Amino acid sequence: MVRLDETTYLAHLERESALFRTALAGCSPHAPVPSCPEWTAADLLWHLGEVQHFWTTILHQRPKGPDDYAEPERPESYDALLGLFDAGTPELVGALRAAEPEEETWTWSEDDHTAGFIYRRQAHEALIHRLDAELAAGAGFTAIDPALAADGVEEVLGVMYGGCPSWGTWTPADTHLRVDCTDTGDSVWVRLGHFSGTSPEGKDHEDDDLHVVADPGSEPDAVVAGPAGALDAWLWRRGDDAEITLTGDRAAYDGFRAAVDQPIN
C-alpha cells in the first residue's frame, strides 16, 4: 500500500475537522456519543480540541517531548469550546506545514519519531472523531474518502493495534489473515500472535495480538473484505459489519477479532 503524501493528509485533516465541527455545532452539549459511551458532545469537542493543541505544542517545540506540557483550561460554555476548536485546527495545520515530514519530532510511537507520524495520525484522529460527532448528532455518516480509509485500515491495524512496546514480548503464531479493501484494491496482511509483559506501571499483560506484515507469499488462513470506509469504521468500532465478508478459517478470524477486541477513543 502506498502512503498518502503530506499535502493529502493535511487536506483530509482540514476537511474532517470541518465536518466534525459542523456535526457538533447543532448538538446539545449533553448529547451522548454512542461510540464513546462515557462522553457527551461537549466532551468529544474538548477531546479533539485538546488533542490538536497537544500536537501543535509538540511540533512547535520539536524534538522536545511533552514532559512540561500544560493542558489548556477547559472552557465552561459550549460556544467557547467551539471557539477553542475553531482556533486550534488552523494552528495545527500551520505547525505541520512548517515541519518537514522527516524532521525529528517526539511521538508516542515506538519506531517513528518524525513529524510524518503526526501528519498521518492527526488526519485519522479527525476522521474517526468526525464519525463520533455524526453519531452524536444522529446524522448519517458523510462519505469517507476511500483512499484515506484504506490508509486508515493499515494505520489502525499497524499503529493502534499492532506494534510492541519495549517492555513487552510478541510471540508470532503461524496464522495470517488478509484484509482486502474491495473498492480501492488495497490489502493489509496481519500475522496473529501473543503479547506478554509487565508495563512500567506494574500491570501484567497476556493478550492476543497481531502485527502488520508483508505478504508472506502464501495463501491467507482467512480473508476479511469490504469497502475501505466500512472496514475502517468497523475496525474502530464506529460502524457495523453489514458490508464486510469473511472467507477462510473461522478460528483465524476469531483470533483476529480477539486481537482487536478493545475500544479506542
The 10 Å Cβ neighbour count of residue 246 is: 17
- Give the model confidence (pLDDT) of 67-114 as tens digits: 999 999 999 999 999 999 999 999 999 999 999 999 999 999 989 999
**Same fold: 6-137 with 162-259:** no
- Helix-helix angle 6-25:115-137, to 10 degrees: 20
- Give the model confidence (pLDDT) of 8-39 as tens digits: 999 999 999 999 999 999 999 999 999 999 99
Residue 164: pLDDT band by 50, 70, 90 thresholds? confident
Place of cell 478460528: 251
Taking the C-alpha atoms of residue 211 and residue 175, their distance in angstroms, rounded to an integer, is: 11
202 phi-psi bin (left φ>0, alpha ψ -120 to 50, beta other): left
Do the Cβ atoms of 231 and 237 come closer than 8 Å? no
Buried b (16+ CB within 10 A) or exposed e, 103-129: eebbbeeeebbbbbbbbbbbbbbbbbb
- Give the model confidence (pLDDT) of 169-178 as tens digits: 999 999 999 9
With residue 146 as reference, give the H or E element that holds it: helix 146-155
- Of the candidate CATH numbers 3.40.50, 3.30.70, 3.40.1350, 3.30.1050, the domain formed by 162-259 belongs to 3.30.1050
Looking at the predicted structure, is the pLDDT value of residue 139 above 90? no
pLDDT at 163: 80
The answer, as to whether pTM is greater than 0.75, is yes
Architecture of domain 6-137: Up-down Bundle (1.20)
Name the residue ranges covered by the structural domains of the chain.
6-137, 162-259
